Structure 1
Amino acid sequence: MSSTFFSDLFSGVAGVGSVPPDPYDEEDGVPPDSFVMCRDRDGNATAVYGDDVWDLNPYRLSANRVNLFRFDGMLDGEGVERRRLINEVKYIFFCLIFYVSAGHIGRLSPSSLLQYYTVLRSAVRYCYAQRDREMVGVLSLQQLFTIPIYLAAFLRECKMCQSKVKKLRALLRHLVSVGEKRLGYRIQGVFDVDFGLEGYREGLQHPVIPTRIYLEIINILGDRVDQIFSGIDSLEEFIASFEDRVYGTSINFQRCTMKVSKRDVRPIFEEAIAQHQLNSVFAGDFICKERMGLSLALAKVQYIIKTIIHTYTGMRDQEVARLPYNCLSQSVVVPDTTDSRGVVRDRARMVDLISTTTKFEGYRQVEAWLATEDVIKAVKVGQAICRGLSKIYKTDVNDMPLFLNPSIIVRKGDIEVGVTIWRVEAKPESLATSILIEQSDLAELAATDPGRDFSAENSFAVGMPWNLTSHQFRRSLAFYGSSSGFISLPSLKKQYKHMTLQMARYYANNFENLKTIFGYYDSEKKEFVLPQNHMAYEFQMGMPMSVAYDILTEVLGENIPLFGGVGSYINKQRQRLESGEAQIADVRAETMKRVANGHLRYRPTLLGGCTKVGECDSYLLGDFTTCLSCEGSIIKPQKLDEAIKDAERELAVYEEGSGEYQITKGDWDRLVRYRHRLINVMEVE
């Protein structure tokens, strides 16, 4: 584009009180700070790119003046992150002013730009507020506008009016017209987000699986994979034996139909299972009595494997279906630590990955996901099945999908190599019909999606089996994965708890290797890219809503009196609910908003809970008695009594006068004084 383009663009309005801006060539990229955006009729600069206050009035057509564009008022404080966001906004305005064709003069008017200013101000403040979210950190506008999950969260949490939402949508379309080359990134995949506009068709979301049901599913899956894994050493050979078309059939079929000599009779099915020591594997959900039923039994095993992968990774249905045989790999997250002599002092820390690209293809062409212990065990079982079936198909297992169709065991003729098709009967009984919906489950469903009436849907009626689908696991993982209340349940398998710790570490937005480990290499951009719909983003944004859910269900749902700074506030909220002064939906919405904005969080403590945002030095040092005077504390009488008893037991062990005794005695004194001063007085009243 020629350097006179911008002068020509603005020449049509030179008579209304302005002269054209500086000449500029778009090949130069971001303009220099000295670039003059706008001049009055005398040639005086009123908007310089590097300044934080722009006056675009010389370019207005209306007689009414428009407000100044004050970028310095968008965010409070100072700092690199604040400046980076403001610079992003300024460049977006530069692009809107010089690259967008609109209106009867061919460009956006200052009054239209001012409307986009209010939208971008809300966006910038939201991005900056994410610094209080441990899993997210300060977002860039590029991240907000290119990652649907971030944008959806922004829309959900900021509650913008209809006109402002329409302006946001228009802004994104303008940025699309600016183009990736000029803007520096591509706006795509964000227009499927529910903008909440009238007439927008909103489909029903896949529900978050209720806690009781989710816990039962996790435990069932863990038990089933342990059951299958116990026979992994024999599984491949057992399946490969069925390449022989009469292996495992009845004696009558072999002798009379297939004319097998008495000397060459193969083991019947029951004998085949016993010889391979697989009786405990093909039992319960996978029970199988004859060769004709083996294909279905293996499909049920594959269903369990597939569901475990969904549960622990959040992968979508087709992503799991596309998994190749060689889908597991490792990546270095922390390299070897060596001393000055080159001796390795600390070995590299590795992380296990699962991906739809095989390890033989060099750079990954698709993203990867964390693979936990249960996922690895499940995949190894799937690989054993795949190896056995590959021998029947007479193919190279390295070229096969992980979920190779087992129907070849019972079907005759040439069977096309393909992925298993899971019909209704392939869902194991323990997951298909044994988990029934209870009234408490409906209450939880209502809490996770207040705008939906589950009681009016027949599929969610009390007494009906929970209709488990693969799509439910992604949202449930994002919802529960960072919920301290759920993770602390004693009946939850340790593998799930370990998985959430890994995700909190490696899926965090500020993890420096997030893209290189879990993304893929884009040969055009020559860099690693993490897809917009990766589970890491949902895990990040699911965390605050889970924290709000903790507060509502674990704290507001209990009938015991609470003390401490926030505990007293919660008691007052309860009183408002009981008196009818407030509705539970209002309290829930208020709590969700406070959490989403980073003004409130929740974590359990020795004395109850803590709602303080950010790190607590006292908590890290183990000085739990500081909670007694903290304005963010929630003190539960039962927890306080337990702490007093624990201190008394410790005092009995220490020698009186010792340092340990004096410290513990000080803690005990503070706990007892607090109980007497507040709790005992309340009980008397």
Structure 2
Amino acid sequence: MKISTPLPSSDYNIWLKPSLKPSYLPAEDIVVCRDSKARIVSRFCDWIWDFRVYVNSTKATGKINFNREIYRTNLGLLLDVKHLLWIAINTHQSNSGEYSVSSYIRWHSVLLSMSSYCVEKAITLETILSSKAIFNDFLRFKCHKTQTANAITLLRILHSVNRNITGCLIVEPSHKDHRTNEDDDFYQTLVIPSRILFHCINKVKKSVDEFVSHAERLEKVVLLLASPRSTEDFRNLIQSNSLEKLAEDHNIKNATNLSTYLSMIQFCSKTMIHIYSGMRRDEGYSLLPGCFRKEVIDDDEGYWIHGITTKIAGYRKKTAWVTSYEIAPAMQAAEKIYSWINSLCSLPNDAPLFSNTSHFSFSISHKRTIADHNDHKLANLTHHRFNHIFSGPEFLITNQDYEEIRFIEYSRNWEQEKRFIPGNLWHFTTHQFRRSLAYYGIDSGLISYSALHSQLKHIRMQMTVHYTKGGAAANSFFEGASIHFRHEYSKTKSIVNGLDYVKNIQLSEERLHGGHGLHVEKNIKPIGKTEILLNRQITVKQVESGLIAYKRRATGGCVSPTPCHRHLISPLSACTTCKDGAVIPSLLASATETYIRFMETLEPGSPEHIMAQLELNKAITLSKKLNIGS
């Protein structure tokens, strides 16, 4: 039963009456949303606006609920809120052509907070919207970081609309006035320590590979259990298909446990995709079967995942992510489970790759989970549900992990940290993989890659090349692929370079050589490590702003503000004699060994071999002159 919004009583105080005076108001019976069959779901007058038909997320409710105490007792505010929200929704949709339900819900949350502020301060919504000072006070006292951004976005949309439609003059907000303060970094998603990330990759990869090796026999069990006429005993099915070891290892004692195991494999597959692509949580849910493809872009062969994003554009938009062949088994596992579900349930053509295992009749949640408006059930693959698989001792935070992450997240308030401390299990979230990919994808030597190299080699080389070169040039091919990850990569690159400069140059325990190396030895190292660490935020900001132009080199680093190609011609000796170079003896020795192995691949007596031998001789002479061991 639908409940209409009653008109406000005449005895309300002035600030509780509608404060907006538009040239016209929406009709109460105007349709807000229809379902996939064009049936009316919600009207303007309803207490609930239901947009679930457009939702593709496991966590989003898809509903805007106006049935709240503050609205019931201040109906003038309710009319103002509905009017503004309706304008924002229509303006956004006319610009994008798409629905963005999560945005609508966030905008209503902002308007709800504004309503609370109105009652508290005895002011109207018009007063907040038309006064920059009062709007800023509202943000300061009522909004956290994320809601501040949402409030500014909402006002920008409303500001773009004619005042005769909104019913008042609306100020133009600016993100500059509300930049993040020092406390924002306390809530920043953390980069995963390299050791823990290594074990995470190994864990999910091992689970996926194990599933793929048993998939053919598991398929027989699943299809028999899901058959309506099946009378097979579960234990007999497991034994007859030689799955006793798998069942024992994963505690699969009955059909319900099997359904949970299949969900866990979906989670591991999705985690692998996030690790090797950088996509967000809901972007992973947008994937369809067949989304993983091998393609040639800019004459370079690579692997891509096609899906949907709402990042940047604010609405559902086709895009593609660069990835690695490492995820091939994960995609195979996910598509295998999808095919089983589809063969039993005849899913719609647009059913997501990660459909819910509750489609199986033997799942305990088969009757509990209701299909959405698109007639399919989306998998619930949250970290809250599956983080228990990362509960082994290898996922306990060590002192070394703690120091590593504290160095990376230098501006976080670690004195207040209670979760990510030594002795605790690392708590994974999807966005951590995105930030970690950005950090570890930059080949800057931030962290020793000895343990990660075998697993992350594609992240460091192939994927980096695509994101910075091929991906940027392939936008038109991928129907306007968003800058979703290249933006994160670019934003992180200068931070990583700054941290690398502090760690490997300023804090180097070896005696540096080269022009800049001698400068660091003479003017920076004498102030002491404590002072260098205290000033690292300033140093990183200087690198970000270009005041320090630091780049990693094979033998150390370079601070030249202009492009330099000498290191390409003379990779061992160039920085040693350069005023902008900083040579680290151990890196020079390592680079020399690598160079010698490279020379062995060249034909003796060839021009290439002769030039390489001259460079090697020059490097050895310089090393002896500077008393650097080789």
Give TM class, smaller chain: 0.5 to 0.7
Listed one character per residue, the Cα deviations across residues 657-677 of structure 1 (whole Å, up to 9, x for unaligned) are: 998997677545544443344
The counterpart of 2:390, out of the listed 420, 424, 431, is: 431
1:33-432 alignment runs, 5 A limit: 195-196=178-179, 204-244=187-227, 266-269=232-235, 271-276=236-241, 278=243, 284=249, 286-329=250-293, 332-334=296-298, 349=301, 351-356=303-308, 365-392=317-344, 394-396=345-347, 398-407=349-358, 408=360, 409-411=362-364, 414=367, 416-417=370-371, 418-422=377-381, 426-427=385-386, 429-432=388-391
Q: Could you say if the C-alpha distance between residues 349 and 473 of structure 1 is closer, same or farther in structure 2, counting changes exceeding 3 Å?
A: closer
- Pair member with larger Rg: 1
Between the aligned residues of both structures, percent identity stands at 23
The counterpart of 1:619, out of the listed 558, 567, 577, is: 567
The counterpart of 2:503, out of the listed 535, 549, 553, is: 553
CA contact (8 A) 1:206 1:472 kept: yes
Q: Could you say if the C-alpha distance between residues 568 and 198 of structure 1 is closer, same or farther in structure 2, counting changes exceeding 3 Å?
A: closer
Partner AA of 1:406 in structure 2:
T
Listed one character per residue, the Cα deviations across residues 534-573 of structure 1 (whole Å, up to 9, x for unaligned) are: 1221122222212222223334444121111222233345
**Which residue is 1:447 aligned to?**
407
Q: Distance in 2 between matches of 1:514 and 1:665?
A: 40
Q: Could you say if the C-alpha distance between residues 214 and 565 of structure 1 is closer, same or farther in structure 2, counting changes exceeding 3 Å?
A: farther
The counterpart of 1:463, out of the listed 416, 423, 445, is: 423
Listed one character per residue, the Cα deviations across residues 147-205 of structure 1 (whole Å, up to 9, x for unaligned) are: xxxxxxxxxxxxxxxxxxxxxx99x989996789xxxxxxxx99678833779988711
Alpha-carbon distance, 1:653 to partner:
13
Q: Distance in 2 between matches of 1:282 and 1:676?
A: 63
CA contact (8 A) 2:275 2:434 kept: yes
CA contact (8 A) 1:508 1:514 kept: no
CA contact (8 A) 1:564 1:632 kept: yes
Alpha-carbon distance, 1:208 to partner:
1.7
Q: Distance in 2 between matches of 1:658 and 1:399?
A: 59
- Aligned to 1:352, the other structure's residue is in SS state strand
**Which residue is 2:533 aligned to?**
584
**Which residue is 1:563 aligned to?**
513
Q: Distance in 2 between matches of 1:195 and 1:481?
A: 30
CA contact (8 A) 2:298 2:470 kept: no
CA contact (8 A) 1:483 1:550 kept: no
Q: Distance in 1 between matches of 2:515 and 2:261?
A: 57
Alpha-carbon distance, 1:411 to partner:
2.9
Q: Could you say if the C-alpha distance between residues 508 and 667 of structure 1 is closer, same or farther in structure 2, counting changes exceeding 3 Å?
A: closer
Q: Could you say if the C-alpha distance between residues 570 and 452 of structure 1 is closer, same or farther in structure 2, counting changes exceeding 3 Å?
A: same
CA contact (8 A) 2:278 2:434 kept: yes
CA contact (8 A) 2:356 2:379 kept: yes
Q: Distance in 1 between matches of 2:610 and 2:365?
A: 82
Moved more, 291-300 or 594-603: 594-603
Q: Which runs of 5+ in 2 are unaligned?
A: 1-150, 163-171, 310-315, 372-376
Q: Could you say if the C-alpha distance between residues 179 and 203 of structure 1 is closer, same or farther in structure 2, counting changes exceeding 3 Å?
A: farther
- Aligned to 2:201, the other structure's residue is in SS state helix
Alpha-carbon distance, 1:604 to partner:
3.7
CA contact (8 A) 1:436 1:463 kept: yes
- Aligned to 2:434, the other structure's residue is in SS state helix
Listed one character per residue, the Cα deviations across residues 36-91 of structure 1 (whole Å, up to 9, x for unaligned) are: xxxxxxxxxxxxxxxxxxxxxxxxxxxxxxxxxxxxxxxxxxxxxxxxxxxxxxxx
Q: Distance in 1 between matches of 2:603 and 2:223?
A: 69
Number of positions where the alignment pairs a residue of Structure 1 with one of Structure 2: 455
CA contact (8 A) 1:567 1:633 kept: yes
Listed one character per residue, the Cα deviations across residues 590-622 of structure 1 (whole Å, up to 9, x for unaligned) are: 2442244274233241x3344445654333235
Partner AA of 2:584 in structure 1:
K
Q: Distance in 2 between matches of 1:389 and 1:513?
A: 38
Q: Could you say if the C-alpha distance between residues 575 and 603 of structure 1 is closer, same or farther in structure 2, counting changes exceeding 3 Å?
A: closer
CA contact (8 A) 1:325 1:399 kept: no
Q: Distance in 1 between matches of 2:547 and 2:524?
A: 23
CA contact (8 A) 1:436 1:464 kept: yes
**Which residue is 1:515 aligned to?**
475
Moved more, 319-328 or 197-206: 197-206
Q: Distance in 1 between matches of 2:467 and 2:595?
A: 39
Alpha-carbon distance, 1:220 to partner:
2.6
**Which residue is 1:631 aligned to?**
579
Q: Distance in 2 between matches of 1:196 and 1:632?
A: 34
Q: Could you say if the C-alpha distance between residues 632 and 397 of structure 1 is closer, same or farther in structure 2, counting changes exceeding 3 Å?
A: farther
Partner AA of 1:456 in structure 2:
Q
Q: Distance in 1 between matches of 2:208 and 2:333?
A: 8
The counterpart of 2:485, out of the listed 522, 529, 535, is: 535
Alpha-carbon distance, 1:509 to partner:
7.5
Q: Could you say if the C-alpha distance between residues 679 and 318 of structure 1 is closer, same or farther in structure 2, counting changes exceeding 3 Å?
A: same
Q: Distance in 2 between matches of 1:423 and 1:174?
A: 33
- Aligned to 1:458, the other structure's residue is in SS state coil
Q: Could you say if the C-alpha distance between residues 288 and 617 of structure 1 is closer, same or farther in structure 2, counting changes exceeding 3 Å?
A: same
Alpha-carbon distance, 1:222 to partner:
2.8
CA contact (8 A) 1:355 1:368 kept: yes
TM-score by length of 1: 0.56
- Aligned to 1:288, the other structure's residue is in SS state coil
Answering whether residue 446 of structure 2 is matched by residue 496 of structure 1, we say no
Alpha-carbon distance, 1:477 to partner:
1.7
CA contact (8 A) 2:156 2:173 kept: no
Q: Could you say if the C-alpha distance between residues 178 and 428 of structure 1 is closer, same or farther in structure 2, counting changes exceeding 3 Å?
A: closer
Listed one character per residue, the Cα deviations across residues 518-545 of structure 1 (whole Å, up to 9, x for unaligned) are: 4x4xxxxxxx3x446x122112222221
Q: Distance in 1 between matches of 2:280 and 2:244?
A: 33
Q: Distance in 2 between matches of 1:623 and 1:199?
A: 41
Q: Could you say if the C-alpha distance between residues 591 and 631 of structure 1 is closer, same or farther in structure 2, counting changes exceeding 3 Å?
A: farther
